């Protein structure tokens, strides 16, 4: 089944554009969300099959606000305990960039093997 995780609107330690009924905040909010999505793609790589980073809009008392969300397929696939798309979404949620400069790759190589798996494998060998 297709589901999604709310990721947010900016890195954890950064200020974000606020909803404000007295000013036109939407252009700045859209730019911030696009920039945040691009940062996530740079840090976590292209989405695997079944995953998709998108901007989702929500109603608010003073206007609308957006967040980057990660859609994923939560069904198990053969011998995997979770789908690659679900793992991708959970990796982003658990390892959010803290600042706009936090763009170091999370994955160790192009095969989208998470760094944590490499660390766990090394720990087992020791």
Query: Per residue in 46-79, pLDDT tens?
Result: 999 889 999 999 998 888 999 999 999 877 555 4
What integer pLDDT is reported at residue 79 of this predicted model?
A: 43
Q: What global pTM score does this model have?
A: 0.78
Write out the residue range of the structural domain in which residue 13 sits.
2-125
For residues 30 and 66, is the Cβ–Cβ distance under 8 A?
Answer: yes
Q: What is the tally of structural domains in the chain?
A: 1
What integer pLDDT is reported at residue 80 of this predicted model?
A: 55
pLDDT less than 70: residues of the chain: 76-82, 108-126
Q: At what angle do helices 26-44 and 84-94 cross, to 10 degrees?
A: 110
């Amino acid at each position: 089944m297709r589901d999604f995780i709310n990721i947010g609107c900016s890195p954890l330690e950064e200020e974000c554009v606020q909803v404000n009924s007295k000013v036109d905040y939407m252009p700045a909010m859209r730019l911030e969300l696009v920039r945040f999505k691009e940062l996530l793609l740079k840090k976590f790589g292209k989405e695997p099959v079944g995953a998709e980073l998108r901007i989702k809009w929500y109603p608010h008392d003073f206007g609308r606000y957006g967040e980057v969300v990660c859609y994923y397929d939560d069904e198990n696939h053969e011998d995997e305990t979770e789908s690659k798309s679900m793992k991708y979404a959970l990796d982003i949620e658990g390892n959010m960039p803290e600042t706009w400069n936090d763009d170091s790759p999370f994955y160790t190589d192009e095969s989208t093997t998470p760094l944590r798996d490499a660390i766990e494998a090394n720990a087992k060998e020791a």
